[in-house]
Chain A
Amino acid sequence: MLEQAFQAKIDRDEKIEPKDWMPDDYRKHLIRQMSQHAHSEVIGMQPEGNWITRAPSLRSKVVLLAKIQDEAGHGLYLYSAAETLGISRDELLDALHEGRAKYSSIFNYPSLTWSDIGAIGWLVDGAAIVNQVSLQRTSFGPYSRAMIRICKEESFHQRQGYEIMADMALGSPEQKAMAQDSLNRWWWPSLMMFGPHDSDSPNSGNASKWKIKRESNDELRQKFIDKTIQQAEVIGLTVPDPDLKWNEERGHYDFGEIDWEEFYQVVKGNGPCNKQRLVHHKKAHDEGAWVREAAQAYAQKQREKLQVA
């Protein structure tokens, strides 16, 4: 009965709000997906933070700082939205630190060169945008509103990255080679960001019935490929896929097989930077504990002063 009314509401494309009745599995699915999304934004600050002190100009440094601050902001929008489901920030962070919650595997790859910062903005944020544009129509109100906000800010990120790639690709032969090398290393992991093929995707069953997910992994991946190839051509770079070919009949690009073994290895924790990312997050969190304690002690003192006066 309750479940029917819930499904009817979703079928009418009405949003579900935090205090509305919802099936336990809907709540669980959202907490899993939204916290994973939030953790990804926050962990994603690390590969980019790696280049703040080495940004090649003051302009690029200021921009990179603003971008990383946005990533923190996006993480916080999403934590805030997830907390409306009745889970606390502490629990969300504990789950990350204990490895029960995941974040996007893409951030377990290292940012080795400045053009990697370009590739991250162009490809990683580009792939994220395709996913997030679709999620603006997700059925849970707070998640949808957070996505709308994030999408508005995210296109700055992608343009920032593409500008770096374009500058490098149109620069000296060494710079162009560096840009091509970044594209070679980030292309396939970016395609993996959309997750397994629809036929192997364990989490999508109810997610589409409940309209948490509005488009499938493969549909989103195809969209990303279709719009990115032209951008690579404009700056004279080549996508590292010998099987890539425009398919007139489908109206889409055909592309080669993704190395799923690599994908599952990185998900399982065996990527190049998995350990480093988590250790760093825990360390930053623990080292900030005294700040939170001090702020609270100060607030408590101020309240006591007010009571005396």
Chain B
Amino acid sequence: MSDNQLPLWEVFVQSKPGLPHKHSGSVHAADAEMALQNARDLYTRRNEGTSIWVVPANEIVASNPDDAESFFDPSNDKIYRHPTFYEMPEGAKHI
């Protein structure tokens, strides 16, 4: 029988207050508390973090890279969502 390595958790670390949490990697742990402690020991040994999120790996839903083209297609032709689309009268400032 194969030995049990405990469930997999994905780890997200916030490096400074105010910044978003970024994916760092994963850890194995029996429960959320152990996952947090393992993540702290593994991914923040040098003050890399001010906050950690752990998420059971099988709870993460991801878009499929094979569908990326059609999935993100709706935004491709809407260049009017960018400020550079608009023509500003000459001489206008601070806009």
**Which residues of A pack against B, CB within 8 Å?**
17, 19-21, 69-70, 73, 76-77, 80-81, 83, 88-91, 93-94, 142, 145-146, 153, 285, 289, 292-293, 295-296, 298-299, 302
Contacts and interface: CB of A to CB of B under 8 A. Distances in A.
B30 A70 contact: no
Contacts of B62: 19
A90 B6 contact: no
Given A295-B6, A295-B34, A70 B25 contact: no
A89 B66 CA distance: 27
A146 B65 CA distance: 22
B27 A17 contact: no
Contacts of A298: 30-31
B3 A90 contact: yes
B29 to A, nearest CB: 8
A88 B3 contact: no
Nearest to A66: B45
A73 B45 contact: yes
Contacts of A81: 25
Given A80-B26, A153-B46, A292 B65 contact: no
A292 B5 contact: yes
Contact of A90 (B5, B31, B46, B66): B5
Interface residues of B, number: 22
Interface string B9-46: 00000000000000001111111001000000110011
Given A298-B31, A302-B31, A292 B26 contact: no
**Across the A-B interface, the 7 shortest Cβ-Cβ residue pairs:** A295-B30, A299-B31, A299-B30, A89-B5, A80-B25, A80-B26, A90-B2
A106 to B, nearest CB: 24
A70 B45 contact: yes
B64 A19 contact: yes
Nearest to A296: B30
A142 B11 CA distance: 13
B76 interface: no
Contacts of B25: 76-77, 80-81, 142, 145-146
Nearest to A285: B3
